[in-house]
Each structure stands twice: as C-alpha cells, then as structure tokens.
Amino acid sequence: MQQKGDIAVVGLAVMGQNLILNMNDHGFTVVAYNRTTSKVDEFLNGNAKGTNIIGAYSIKDMLSKLKKPRKVMLMVKAGEVVDQFIDSLIPQLDQGDVIIDGGNSNFADTERRVKTLKKKGIYFIGTGVSGGEEGARFGPSMMPGGMMEAWPTIKPIFKAIAAKTPNGEACCEWVGSGGAGHFVKMVHNGIEYGDMQLICEAYQFMKDLLELDNEHLSAIFTNWNQTELNSYLIEITANILKFQDKEGYVIDRILDTAGQKGTGKWTGINALDLGIPLTLIAESVFARCISAQKNTRLQAERFYGKKAYPHTPISSALLHDLQQSLLFAKIISYAQGYMLMQEASQTYNWILNYGDIALMWREGCIIRSIFLEKIKAAFDRSPQLQNLLFDDYFKSLVQKALPSVRRIVAKGIETGIAMPALTSALSFFDGFTTARLPANLLQAQRDYFGAHTYERLDKAYGQFFHTDWIGSNSNVSSSGYNV
C-alpha cells in the first residue's frame, strides 16, 4: 500500500512545485494537487520524477492520501481563489485538520479566514513565504501566523524546509495570531520596495551625475557588498549591471517603467490607516507610479527643457558619502517598518517578537542581509526597544552617516536628480529628532477655519481649547477626532 502523505500542496505553479521538491528533499511525503490536473502528471513525469511525491487528481483523492490530522497547504493565486478553494475543502475536512495559505494574501483576509474556520473547528494558518523560486526550492523565509494550536503539527516541516542562518537557525518562527504572518510578509515586501528604490537612486546618481559605465557601477556595488550593506539585493545589482548578451548590456535596453503587484501599496495604506510615518516605503511605491508614466515624463522633459546633468567628477569621498547615505536610509526604512509592526501588534492584539522577525528575514528572502543580524541583536539587547533609532549601535551608524547624507541629498537637489526615498529618509529623521515642530501653527489653522481646537504647551495635555480668531463670539467647537 502506498505511504500516506505528511502534507498536501495545492497549486503546481512555480512556488508550489519548488516547495514540494524542498519538502521531499527533507524526507516528507507530499501529495501534489492542482486544479488543472494535467499539471499533476506533467510535474510527476518532469521535476518530480524519481521522488516520493504522490499525485492527486481531485480534492477527495488528495485528502484520502493524507495522514490525519490532514494538512493542506495552498500555493495558489492570492485573493478570491483562496476563498473558493477553502469553500470546496471545508465539507470534506474533519475537525482538527489544518489549512495553510502560503500565498501572498492580504492579512485582513487571513484575519477573516481564521475567524470563519475557527467556528468550524478547522485550523487555519496564513504564512508568508519569501524568496521566490530559488527560496522555495532550497530554503525560503517563512512567516507563519494564525491559529497557534496548529503550529506544533506543521512546525517540523516548516523548520526543516526554511532557510538557515550561518548559525544554523531556521528562518521561520511563529509570528502571531490572526493575520500576523501575512502582515509581517507584507511589511517585508514594503521594505523590499524601499531597499530596491534606494539602490536605484544610487545607481542613477552614479550613472547620470558621475557618468560611470556599467562595469564601473557593477564594481562599486560589488565593493559595497563587502560593507555593512552586504545583501542579496546589492549582490544581484552588481550582477545585473555587468550582464551582457549578444546585443550588449541588457540593463541599458530595459524600459524604465516599474511594475508592482500591490504588497508595497498595501503596506503604505496600512501605515496611513494606523497613522505611522512610513515615508520611505510610500515614496518607493510612488516612485514606481511615476516611473510607469513614461509618456507623460517624455512630454514633461521636453516641455520644461530639462538640462543635462552637470558632470560631477568621481571621488572616493563622494562614493563614501553615497555608501553612507544608502546605509542611513536603510536604517530609517527598517525603523519605520518596525514602527508599523509595533503599532499593528497593539492595534490587532498580536504579540510580535521583533528579534525573531529579523531572524526570519536574515536568509531565504529578498531582503536578506547581514544588517538584519544587527536588528536582531538590538531587540535581543532590549526586547521592549521603543524604536530602532534609540538603539546605541544604530545611533552610532546614523550619526556617522549624517554629514554624508546631507551632502548627497543637497547634491541631488542642486543637480535635479530625483531621490525621493533618500530625501524622505533625511526629512523623516530631521522631523523625528525635532522636539518642537511647526504643528502649533497647523493646529491654529485648523482651529481658525474649523474650530477643531488645540492643546496648549502650558497646560496638561488632553485639555482642548478654542480661540475666537475672527471675533464671531461663537464658542462652538468641533468634536475631537484623530486620524
């Protein structure tokens, strides 16, 4: 008799196939199912040939081939498809069976699914899986959340297949209840947008202002990969820049309009909902939006007669400033991302472990970097750390980088190189470190035109005052509200 499967994976596109092969490599018996069943045979006769992977041709067939409690992992297109598949699974599942959604689902959908399935006695886990095709095959970063009761049954599989840090720790930990896993994955993707945008801004600065060729640019990124910036994204940037095919450098033929699948946008929307100044990620999303308006940009450049960038001679001091600027902005971006997670943890009643999150991102995912070890160390030193910028190690990096950042941002502004992410990092920092901002005037304006009231510096906070700015003798004020 055929051995029963430890887990089923539904969805035999790039992520599903590679996760199954990864699970098989680690000694788990996997049942593979796909809506279009011809793909099951293609997989079994192709990449899965010679493995212990079991094919299934219907939901019933798949469930009959699993050990109990049955564990079914969905690697299908996020959105309605997940709901549809869960609906067709429910009547055939028993209490205690586990559904795992490993797609890029919106965390609010995961919260809803957890609640619905809890009522039916079925466990639900929403897990972020990062690292793309290669990660799925050889070790992704995994961010599971949902019903913790189900964690012990899937933990051995997840820990085994996840990426490992140089110390051998698995980049997979329990994140929290409800949609916490998918939330953390969403923030990961937002941070990815920021990291990528910053690299692109440094690239444009060097390409257009310093007029460096691709080989030189690649060498600089390779060099930066030996510094605190060491990361997957810097590494692939160096490779991309020097890559040539028969027609020459590929990078020079790629249209400068960026696509997006929405997780950066979700992160920005959530930050606005929670009132967190996630400026760098938001600017990175908008930078993709402006890049997508190629025709309008062509027209605008002609309309305003944009002048050529003034040539700036390369110097080691300038390159050092640029490297320091990238590091500074990266610290700000991660600090903002952690601010968002800290607020979300309170708002949605999760208990997020911030050090573990850094560990999960250390390897296997797109933002993997040495830098994340430092974040983990900061939260290990101080689990209640209020903000990454209050950690002494990061403070020393920021203070060292600050003069460089000011020089680079000034240069960009002076010469007309758009650097929205870097500039926003500096603006955020300057606001964050200013005890007294001009919001007193803003409050006065709000009170003037809308009787929105204000608090006073010389009275206890929480008391609200209204001034009759135009002598109307009205003492009616607007009800207080926070946005």
Q: Please select the residue that binds ligand NBP; options are 104, 237, 324, 325, rule is CB under 6 A.
A: 104
Phi/psi for 470 (5° steps) reads: -115, 15
Query: Binding residue for ligand NBP (CB under 6 A) from 3, 45, 58, 84?
Result: 84
How many helices (DSSP H) and strands (DSSP E) are in the chain? 19, 10
**Nearer Cβ to ligand NBP, position 181 or 412?**
181
Footprint of ligand NBP on 23-82 (CB under 6 A): 34-36, 39, 75-78, 81
Residues touching ligand NBP, count (CB under 6 A): 23
Closest approach, Cβ 428 to ligand NBP, in A, equals 29
14 binds ligand NBP (CB under 6 A): yes
13 binds ligand NBP (CB under 6 A): yes
CA distances from 161 to 20, 24, 26 (A): 10, 9, 7
Residue 296 dihedral angles phi and psi, to the nearest 5°? -65, -40
Options 47-55, 125-133, 267-275, 447-455: segment touching ligand NBP (CB under 6 A): 125-133
| Active-site option among 185, 265, 330, 374 | 185
Distance in Å, CB of 75 to ligand NBP, minimum: 5
Distances (CA, A) of 78 to 74, 182, 258: 9, 11, 21
Q: How far is the CB of 77 from ligand NBP (least distance, A)?
A: 4
- 3-state class percentages of the chain: helix first, strand second, coil last, to nearest 5: 55, 10, 35
Closer CB to ligand NBP, 103 or 420, in the complex: 103
Whether 185 sits among the annotated catalytic residues: the reply is yes
Nearer to ligand NBP, 181 or 355 (CB): 181
Amino acid occupying residue 11: G
Residue nearest to ligand NBP (CB): 103
Beta bridge partners of 231: 369
Asked if 343 and 271 touch (Cβ cutoff 8 Å), the reply is no
327 neighbors 408 (Cβ within 8 angstroms): no
Strand partners, 7: 30
| Interface stretch with ligand NBP, choices 6-14, 41-49, 110-118, 153-161 (CB under 6 A) | 6-14
Of 69 and 132, nearer to ligand NBP (C-beta) is: 132
- Among 9, 15, 281, 389, the residue binding ligand NBP under the rule CB under 6 A is 15
Tokens at 431, concatenated: 């606001």
Least separation in angstroms between CB 250 and ligand NBP: 20
Residue 393, both tokens: 């190690």
Burial (CB count <10 Å: 0-12, 13-18, 19+), residue 37 = middle
Name the residue nearer to ligand NBP (CB basis): 37 or 415.
Answer: 37
Angle at 7 between CA 2 and CA 12, to 5 degrees: 95
In the set 5, 16, 139, 268, which binds ligand NBP (CB under 6 A)? 16
Sequence-ordered list of residues with C-beta below 8 angstroms from that of 32, at least 6 positions apart, any chain: 8, 9, 12, 16, 17, 20, 40, 43, 44, 48, 53, 54, 55, 56
The smaller minimum CB distance to ligand NBP, of residues 75 and 451, is found at 75
DSSP 407-472: HHHHHHHHHT---HHHHHHHHHHHHHT-SS-THHHHHHHHHHHH---B--TTS-TT--B---TT--
Catalytic residue selected from 169, 192, 201, 283: 192
Between CA 86 and CA 100 the distance in angstroms is 10
CB closer to ligand NBP out of 103 and 181: 103
The least distance separating ligand NBP from the CB of residue 84, rounded to whole angstroms, comes to: 5
Residue of the chain from 5, 7, 9, 11 that contacts ligand NBP (CB under 6 A): 11
Kindly tell me which of 33 and 428 has the beta carbon lying closer to ligand NBP. 33
Nearest to 184 by CA among 326, 350, 381, 421: 350
Smallest distance from the beta carbon of 344 to ligand NBP, in angstroms? 20
132-191 residues near ligand NBP, rule: CB under 6 A: 132-133
192 catalytic per annotation: yes
Q: Is residue 129 near ligand NBP by the rule CB under 6 A?
A: yes
Q: Which residues are catalytic?
A: 185, 192
Site residues (CB under 6 A) for ligand NBP?
11-16, 34-36, 39, 75-78, 81, 84-85, 103-104, 129-130, 132-133
